[in-house]
Structure 1
Amino acid sequence: MAQAGDTQPTPEAITVHEQSRTLEVAFSDGARFRIPFELLRIHSPSAEVQGHGAGQEVLQTGKRHVTLVQIEPVGHYALRPTFSDGHDSGLYTWAYLYELGRDQEQLWRAYEERLAEAGVDRDAPMAGRAAGGHGCGGH
């Protein structure tokens, strides 16, 4: 929860670049990031992707060509994108967008390692999930 005096950077400009499939976010501290749609999608903060606890994350594949169909503000703290694969349940807070932008090189490396461990590549179709749900029955 934000406290008085917090200096968490907030977005000053958000631009969707459809051709390069990136979301550009300029923050109040001068940082500017171009975050690929694929990175946003594979690191969605939703339960469908993150699970409900450590070790329950679902490895996302087949998202290289995903696009943004829509992006909506949620209050004054987050965005809710709708991706071309139908995924729309992730709320990306300003802090999370900043983290994704700042840490994208490390996130890509970790993703590639997870793919290698699973013996799949990033273009493999998603396995074992019905479209539009994550199967926990809790939502």
Structure 2
Amino acid sequence: MVAVVANKRPPKGLVPRLKKALQALMEELGVGDKAVTVILTGDRRLRALKRAWWGEDEATDVLSFPHYEPEDPFLPPHLGDIWISLDTAGKQAKARGAPLEEEVLVLSAHGLWHLLGHDHAKEEDWEGFRRVQERILTL
């Protein structure tokens, strides 16, 4: 199950498409019986979270907060939260010449990949990031 909380007004039609596409991606990845929450907000909130958790005082596009330790032998019913800044996503979409909706889908897939225990430090994870980010756009 995918729950979406919008602290900032998303573009019309984004929330239903996001729920549908992320749920389909979760099914393909074998975690369709799990839940995630996606929070759509702005730069100020993501900057505060990044400062509190990573010690970096800057806005970012997406942060993931798993509700378990990735090394645990089981996955809990709720995998965690994916926070997306609509401000930064909008800037990135504009720079790529893409719609904001598409950027948010890509960021949600990226966040899900993190919730499943993958990170940027491992070279083999980069292919997975690219693959799930491309796949969500076709769902």
Bigger Rg, structure 1 or 2: 1
- Name the structure, 1 or 2, with higher relative contact order (CA <8 Å, separation 6+): 2
Give the alignment's TM-score, normalised by structure 2: 0.28
Give the alignment's TM-score, normalised by structure 1: 0.28
Q: Which has the higher helix share?
A: 2
Q: Which has the higher strand share?
A: 1
